[in-house]
Structure 1
């Protein structure tokens, strides 16, 4: 499963009162998942603009299926490097510490700050004052699933393969940072663009294929 981990600076904080906590994060944070995109397929595509965001790393997802893989991501566990002779707890500790760089927080973030919920949107919204949003392509991630917790907005897109529609709807507030989860479906089997005729696609197996045939 491919993903992009990208952050940028937000505007200065406004002085108007807000019921949410005072923002402690300084950066907007976008977590972009290229659903089912293999590492070797991405290399074969020879991306030019994507690599401008940072170095490309080969990592492994904690789960091989879309739904549980996204639960791991929203626990704050990004795909791992599969280090050898390293305790899992030590790897988690170091990985969570990197959120200080990603979010630009005023106070250090450690694993204990995710307790007891162990859910990144909960931390971002209720402790760091973020607005939280999700736009997903796969039906197994729809708003009725358990993933939709502590999101200000959570939307299953009308088309599973239209990232451009997601980009058009991105909004960043001037007074506090935003978190966006974007689950992109163009890279899902079969690779397809929004203007292509679905009747020409091969048969889709798996849960998504089953859902498409339900009444």
Structure 2
């Protein structure tokens, strides 16, 4: 499909929105080169977004017309049960999928968006990118891409030993300090993109959809966690939690607000 913003056609690949129990995956591939010469390394730029812990039912019930307009929505199973294993698998080419589907990319066992040579079973369908290297980031670097990433969860804090695994292969990576700093992430991305003239693999992990479900300017105390198992003594009364979840839906509108900012960053 073509996705149109004003006069600009930004993406000319079938944009996929994968909704899982653990996160939302948005995959955009933007044409920046000769699509006809398949023997050469493709030169499309790739924007990969994960909305951490954003559930399928939350997304479907949200008022997000701009995001819905991007492409079809697929209910999919994440390759891991929390942030680290999901992203570790994704970076090896095992994106979320629907095991019942016979469509490439929707079911990565049929055909992968990112296929690593020597890694995993090669299904009967088509692969979008066939990459060499240790993982997909390394694979895009080998192709001459500028690999840029930013993640909101602590698993992406490169200053910690546990945060190095998911971040070390990027040319530049930014950890904003907590899960509610999307604006900082976008500003950093915009600055880095202005300094670059190569095809880009751009990864963005968004944390506002992860507990404590707080975004900058939200009308509640971020220190009170509605996620009962993680809250300890700071848990919320049931009625307060329900009220907060209703107000939390405001975040989807905030995310829509950022959408124009995001698309400008990847031009």
Q: Provide the TM-score with structure 2 as the length reference.
A: 0.59
Residues 1:123 and 2:139 are matched in the alignment: yes
How many residue pairs get aligned? The number is 184
| 1:127-160 CA distance string (max 9 Å, x none) | x210111111111232243112321012211231
1:152 to 159, 171, 179: 171
| 1:32-52 CA distance string (max 9 Å, x none) | 100000101101113211112
Task: Classify 1:9/1:111 alpha carbon distance in 2 versus 1 (closer, same or farther; 3 Å).
Answer: closer
Q: How does 1:179-190 map to 2 (within 5 A)?
A: 179-190=201-212
What are structure 2's unaligned runs of at least 5 residues?
1-22, 35-39, 117-125, 233-267
Q: Which one has the bigger strand percentage?
A: 2
Q: The residue matched to 1:78 in structure 2 has which SS?
A: coil
Q: Aligned equivalents of 1:130 and 1:113: distance in 2?
A: 14
Asked which structure has the greater RCO (Cα within 8 Å, sep 6+), the reply is 1
Q: How does 1:36-185 map to 2 (within 5 A)?
A: 36-83=53-100, 91-92=108-109, 94-96=111-113, 113-114=130-131, 117=134, 119-126=135-142, 128-143=143-158, 144-170=163-189, 171=193, 175-185=197-207
Structure 1 vs Structure 2 CA RMSD: 3.4
Equivalent position of 1:8 in the other structure: 30
Task: Please say if residues 159 and 194 of structure 1, whose CA atoms lie closer than 8 Å, have aligned partners that are also in contact.
Answer: no
| 1:94-149 CA distance string (max 9 Å, x none) | 124799xxxxxxxxx969944562x10011001x2101111111112322431123
Task: Please say if residues 30 and 181 of structure 1, whose CA atoms lie closer than 8 Å, have aligned partners that are also in contact.
Answer: yes
Q: Aligned equivalents of 1:133 and 1:97: distance in 2?
A: 17
Q: Provide the TM-score with structure 1 as the length reference.
A: 0.72
What are structure 1's unaligned runs of at least 5 residues?
13-22, 100-108, 211-215
Task: Please say if residues 112 and 127 of structure 2, whose CA atoms lie closer than 8 Å, have aligned partners that are also in contact.
Answer: no
Q: Aligned equivalents of 2:175 and 2:229: distance in 1?
A: 20
> Structure 1 residue 204: deviation in Å?
7.1
Task: Classify 1:200/1:79 alpha carbon distance in 2 versus 1 (closer, same or farther; 3 Å).
Answer: same
Equivalent position of 2:6 in the other structure: none
